[in-house]
Each structure stands twice: as C-alpha cells, then as structure tokens.
Amino acid sequence: MSMVQKTIEGAVALVELQRPPVNALSGDLAAELSSVFNECRDPAIRAVVVTGRPHFAAGADIKGFQESFDAGADGKLAPSVADAVADLEALEKPTIAAVHGFALGGGLELAMGADFRYLAEDARVGQPEINLGIIPGAGGTQRLPRLIGFQAAKELVYSGRHVEPSEALDLGIADRVHPANEVLDRAMADAAEWAKGPTLALAAAKRALAGGWGAPLQEGLSVEAEAFATAFGTADAREGVAAFIEKRTPEFKGN
C-alpha cells in the first residue's frame, strides 16, 4: 500500500505522507517520497506542498534502528531519508512544508528541505536524536545552522528539546504560523500564487541563492550571473518586460 499520496490542484502538487499513526520515516517511506518528488519535476507542476496529518512526521522509525543494530548495519536509514530531503530541496520550483503536530528528527529535516515552513499552532519541531544517543543524520546538523545560526542550532541539537511555533517563528525555523485548521489551506493558496509566477526565473533565483550561500563573493556572483543569463533567455522574461512597458499584469506561462 502506498504511504505517499500525490494530488494535483491546478499547477500545485500536494504530497501527503500517509503512514499512520505518526508518519514515522522508514526506509520504504523515504524511498517513496524520493520517487514522488522526482515525479514533481514535471514542468506542468509549478509549486509543491508537503504535509502529513495529524503529524507531519514524528521522526525516524525507531524500530528500523533496532533492526539495523540487529543486522549489524550502521545507520542505513539516515541516508535514505537524506536522499528524500535532497530530492525535495533540488526541485526547481517553490516548495512549502505545511506542518501539523510533530516534525521531529527526520521530520524536521524533511521540512527543512522545503523553501518555506508553515507551522500549525499545535506543531512542535526539534532534533531530539541526542536523546537516543545519536545525532541528526539527514542534514539536521548542516541545514539547521544555515537556517537559524550556528549557536542556536547547537543548542537545539545538544538539548534535543521540542520547539513551539512562536519560538520557531522567532528563530527562523518557521516562516508562518497559522491555526491548525488553516495551515494547509494557507500553504496551498500561497503555492498557487507562486505557481502563477515565472517558474524558470524562480528556479534560477533558487539556484543562485543556494549556490552562492556561504561561498566567497566572487564565486557567488558567478553563480548569480549564470542564473541571470538563464532567466533572461526565457519566454517569461520577454512577457514580464513587455507587461511592464505596456502597464499590464504579466501572464507567466512557466517557460
């Protein structure tokens, strides 16, 4: 039975984890997520929302860790989850994680693969792996400091504590906080607006921002120049310039 459901609304793909009761991230679920995220490369899909209910993803499947210990395998689960996170992050279109309930451990790592995180007021996020005698293994020690700063990330990883939405917003983990019964609708509505935009220019902006982040200035400027040239050559760039000159709203086609 499928553990991931993908539905299309207009040009937005909604990807929903469906592994009751808490969407624990097993190797099989991670592999299915990777497959679905790769399907979302389809140019007809111009934005993606990822969610899970009643919990986004409460973390890795701890039973899977025990099976790895018993089999003498070291950390086989983490790479598969890391691959799913990377596949989400690599999508060249806007992505939003709509977080209900728990997004802990691998769940938060998955959410950090999205461009934006919208948290429900009942959400709790964190990297509690230290309480199991391990550390984040799907990008948590690398993406979290880039998102909220080194010292704040260190404290969360060392303590393993759960973070409430108001603090998550202050730290920069969350981009928006909404009532639980509204968060998915808000994410879908915003994704639909992104989907009306110049998709290839948004992809170029995403590449420039990610490729230049933390790089020396000249290297970052080179990444930006290449991305700008790509965007400048699109039909949407011609439409955007024409619409500006003609004082009308542009009609971007995503090409």
Amino acid of residue 187: A
Which pLDDT does position 224 carry in this prediction? 96
Specify whether the CB–CB gap between 43 and 91 falls below 8 A: no
Tell whether 42 is covered by a domain: yes
How does residue 55 score in pLDDT terms, banded at 50, 70 and 90? very high
Indicate if 138 and 57 belong to the same structural domain: yes
Tally: H helices and E strands in the chain: 11, 8
Which pLDDT does position 75 carry in this prediction? 55
Indicate if 146 and 24 belong to the same structural domain: yes
Tell whether 250 is covered by a domain: no
Indicate if 142 and 237 belong to the same structural domain: no
- The domain boundary, picked from 163, 179, 195, lies at 195
User: Total domain count for the chain?
Assistant: 2
Indicate if 41 and 120 belong to the same structural domain: yes
Indicate if 84 and 41 belong to the same structural domain: yes
- The domain boundary, picked from 156, 179, 195, lies at 195
Residue 245 has pLDDT above 60, yes or no: yes
121, with CB counted inside 10 A (0-12, 13-18, 19+), is middle
Indicate if 211 and 116 belong to the same structural domain: no
Tell whether 119 is covered by a domain: yes
Specify whether the CB–CB gap between 6 and 36 falls below 8 A: yes
Q: Give DSSP secondary structure letters for 198-214.
A: -HHHHHHHHHHHHHHTT
CATH number, residue 17: 3.90.226.10
Residue 240 has pLDDT above 80, yes or no: yes
Tell whether 115 is covered by a domain: yes
pLDDT tens, position by position, 149-196: 999 999 999 999 999 999 999 999 999 999 999 999 999 999 999 999
Report d(CA 213, CA 57) in Å as an integer: 28
- The domain boundary, picked from 155, 180, 195, lies at 195
Tell whether 238 is covered by a domain: yes
Which pLDDT does position 214 carry in this prediction? 87
Tell whether 71 is covered by a domain: yes
Indicate if 78 and 174 belong to the same structural domain: yes
Q: What is the β-pairing status of strands 4-9 and 116-120?
A: unpaired
pLDDT tens, position by position, 74-118: 555 566 999 999 999 999 999 999 999 999 999 999 999 999 999
Q: Which residues are catalytic?
A: 109, 129
Indicate if 168 and 206 belong to the same structural domain: no
Task: Show the domain range for 223.
Answer: 199-245
Indicate if 81 and 183 belong to the same structural domain: yes
Indicate if 106 and 140 belong to the same structural domain: yes
Tell whether 251 is covered by a domain: no
The arithmetic mean of pLDDT across residues 58-84, rounded, is: 71
Give the percent of the chain with pLDDT over 70: 94
Tell whether 153 is covered by a domain: yes
Measuring CA to CA, which residue among 155, 102, 162 is closest to residue 126? 162
Indicate if 21 and 68 belong to the same structural domain: yes
Indicate if 80 and 206 belong to the same structural domain: no
Specify whether the CB–CB gap between 60 and 105 falls below 8 A: yes
